[in-house]
Structure 1
């Protein structure tokens, strides 16, 4: 790739107040004879680095006619960074906090805000979606392009919608993949993550119940969910060790696993792992540990939860007002620990640093509209664990864009992963052909494990190989993490 650095104002309203650097990357069109301009890419976040995205896309058809442009948004990575001081105490991580722990969650959020305020300096309040959109237009200008094309994932969908609303004459074709909801900024968007986690856990339980002869969790969804709850109680009291490879599996970690087991092809491996956690939890004292193979598979499937010190998310997510009513957050956390406990559970309903922010964003959120640029595409997947599916049809309606819905999917971001979606998006970006105002694609197939009572179940032979190898093969086939959460 070609890489460069551009200079943009800290504050576009007062350009003389100082500058920031923004790093950009380019992978030139491989078919220059049919070049159609540039395609800007953004992976989401807010706070995700996009510098290597052109290389992610190098094998896709869009690499032929488009210069693929990646960038680190202001505050991120190689661009002028925005940082937060690390709080003195590690934040509480509890998907189902007890009442006595709610005050600690609030104190953690306040400590994070203090750390971000201390390290953010004079640039923090100017790290915003609107200013990133302005930076994108500077990128367009320095590349000498009259218009850009755009592909954004997750938060990148909102960024793209903001850019089109602010610079409609500068946007040509646009694809918003795994869209945020235009009306859920930002607290409701956070809560919907746990709603989606519950939906995925119920879907997994329903599938497991039809295959009790293999997994032995129960013959009804209710029985499987009850078995999950029983297992959660055991590991909350006595966590299962995963020596050298992952964190101990306690109650909160198990909720995370259950809530982020959305990707359908991984269900067999995921369920076997949950079964091994159950076996370890039922082992005698001192023997409650997983094998190295299981630990490696867990890491491949679910990653590792790491604390972050980047300051972009805690800044951008405060660009719309947050309630200061702590009692209201506590009420929501009590509701979510009972009704939506999987994934991050009640933590998604708790206050963030934004509830304690003492600064006022210098401008209101942009009014989203499509007025002056072509009809674009929005892609949404059922059971998306990060941007709940309802956000995609809502964004399509808001912008009068076409919508591609992916049925029974459970993963986050479909372009380059789902063949049907990729073909429709390529047809639109390359040829300008819309797939229709509303269209559907099938999601990734569920594992070929027949249900109990079917003829195929009598002759079924389970897949061989280690769990880690099977998880790695699944990740390779999916062209990305199996359970992005």
Structure 2
């Protein structure tokens, strides 16, 4: 992988005010005769570093025909960094804080905003989506290309849409994978993450309720949710210990006990990948039995729970970029608005997946106390002057709710690929159907129908209670492998972008 440095203005309106350094990477197309230009990546965030993304994509089919281009956006990684002073974590370590604890979220958000202002106040107004899109056009020119092809994930979908709106003459084919909703910038986007997480939990509860004879957690969605809430109340008083030590090859975060917070996070994370739903149900049943008997959780169930609890999705960036770019839109200034939402989300959306869902998504942020005025309004999105692109969206994606996909496709008059019954965030390279359609578009210029669908990894093959007796007897309740092995197997293919390319 080759690397280069590109110098861009801090402020495009006043180029003399100073410069920033951008680090750019490239892996050249494997087949020079088939080369069709460059494919530029962005992993999302805001604040995700994309410098290593060509390494993660070098075995993809597109690597034959395109130079793969990565870059660390302004403020990120090896580019000129925007950093915040370290602030001691002050938020309550619970998924269901009391009203009295709400002020701790406010104090932390205000302290972090002040710390970011002290460390990077001079450049913060210019760290925004529009300027990052302008930087992309400088990269295009530095590469000597008339146009770029683009593949962006999550926040990178919005960045790609802004680039096309500002520089339509510079964009050829574009793929927006797991799209931000163009009308939810930015607080509503955060709130909707919790709605998406709960939707997965409800879908899991409905599935489990149809298999009460197997799992014993209730015979309907409502009964299963009532059972988990009753268990949450018990675990808040008396957690269940996990009877297994952390293996040497596992991350430092290995739960020692299963309390209410662990249950909320376990359900949020475990109900996203459909193939692991049976493991989630069996672990919850074992936790409930252990709680009733005042006994420890078995080593097998504890290891399965830890597999899921350490599968934390896309890492939240800790530099100052996330806390700055998300302030490019206005946020409410009235704390009562946040506290009212926090009460609702604490009760209705307690499930927390480490990416901002639950009560955290409703709490005040640095943007509540924004110390700078954005130098420009948000860019109006349109597709006028570049080819029709693709938007990809999973209907159970909690990080970017499904509604964002159709909304972005409509805003840009793009084609939409919907991935059904999937909680996956970031699909190209993981979902075979999506990967095939995207490759056909990028390499051959062949668009799928305006609204097409792909399937995802199936739910567990556990017969419902109303299935024929022979089918239930043939399947049986015993899956053979341990809970730990089944959890590992079900999560094994979810790691493509959980690499330095997306951290």
TM-score clears 0.5: yes
Instruction: Tell me the SS of whatever aligns to 1:281.
Output: helix
The answer for the alignment partner of 1:176 in structure 2 is 176
Taking the aligned partners of 1:409 and 1:433, their CA distance within structure 2 comes to 25
Q: 1:294 aligns with which of 294, 302, 327?
A: 302
Which residue pairs with 1:105 in the alignment? 105
Task: Please give the secondary structure, in 2, of the residue aligned with 1:436.
Answer: coil
Which residue number corresponds to residue 474 of structure 1? 490
Instruction: Note the alpha carbon deviations across 1:140-183, whole angstroms, 9 max, x for none.
Output: 11111100000001000000000001110000000001000001
**Counterparts of 2:328 and 2:384 in 1: how far apart (Å)?**
24
**1:282 aligned partner:** 292
Unaligned residue ranges in structure 2 (runs of 5+): 247-252
Seen in structure 2, the aligned counterparts of structure 1 residues 308 and 428 have a Cα distance that, compared at 3 Å, is closer
Q: Deviations over 1:42-89 (max 9, x none)?
A: 111111111221122222211110111111111111111211222234
SS across alignment from 1:393: helix
Where do residues 350-369 of structure 1 align in structure 2 (5 Å cutoff)?
350-369=363-382
1:414 aligns with 2:427: yes
**How many angstroms does 1:375 deviate by?**
0.7
Aligned 8 A contact 1:246 1:296 in 2: no
1:323 pairs with 2:339: no
1:21 and 1:468, CA in 2 relative to 1: closer, same or farther beyond 3 A? farther
Mapped contact 1:85–1:309 kept (Cα < 8 A): no
Report how far residue 453 of structure 1 moved.
3.6
Count of residues in correspondence between the two structures: 481
- What CA distance in whole angstroms lies between the structure 2 residues aligned with 1:147 and 1:291? 55
Measure how far apart 1:262 and its partner are. Answer: 1.2
Instruction: State which drifts further: 441-450 or 147-156.
Output: 441-450
Q: Which moved more, 1:203-212 or 1:294-303?
A: 294-303
SS in 1 for 2:399: coil
Deviation at 1:481, TM superposition (A): 7.7
Change in CA separation of 1:275 and 1:2 when aligned onto 2, cut-off 3 Å:
farther
CA gap 1:439/1:327 in 2 versus in 1, 3 angstroms: same
How far the C-alpha of 1:339 sits from its partner, in A, is: 2.5
Partner of 2:187: 187
Q: Look up the match of 1:257.
A: 266
Q: CA deviation at 1:250?
A: 2.8
**Range moving further from structure 2, 49-58 or 466-475:** 466-475
For residue 460 of structure 1, what is the aligned residue in structure 2?
Answer: 475
Instruction: Return the alpha-carbon distance in structure 1 between the equivalents of residues 100 and 277 of structure 2.
Output: 35
Q: Distance in 2 between matches of 1:252 and 1:274?
A: 13
After superposition, where does 1:202-213 map in structure 2 within 5 Å? 202-213=202-213
2:250 is aligned to none
TM-score by length of 1: 0.94
- Secondary structure at the aligned position of 1:151 is classed as strand
Does the 8 A contact of 2:266 with 2:305 survive in 1? no
- TM-score norm. by structure 2 comes to 0.91
Task: Give the secondary structure class of the aligned counterpart of 2:123.
Answer: helix
SS in structure 1 opposite 2:173?
A: strand
Cα contact 1:301–1:471 (8 A) shared by 2: no
In 2 relative to 1, CA 72–165 (structure 1 residues): closer, same or farther, beyond 3 Å?
same
Which residue does 2:125 correspond to in 1? 125
Whole-Å separation in 2 of the counterparts to 1:308 and 1:151: 20
- The answer for unaligned runs of 5 or more in structure 1 is none
Number of the residue aligned with 2:141: 141
Q: Note the 1:299-310 alignment, pairs <5 A.
A: 299-300=307-308, 302-303=310-311, 309-310=318-319
User: Is it true that 1:73 corresponds to 2:89 in the alignment?
Assistant: no
Matches within 5 A, 1:228-267: 228-242=228-242, 243-244=245-246, 246-247=254-255, 248-260=257-269, 261-267=271-277
Q: How far is the alpha carbon of 1:341 from its aligned partner?
A: 2.4
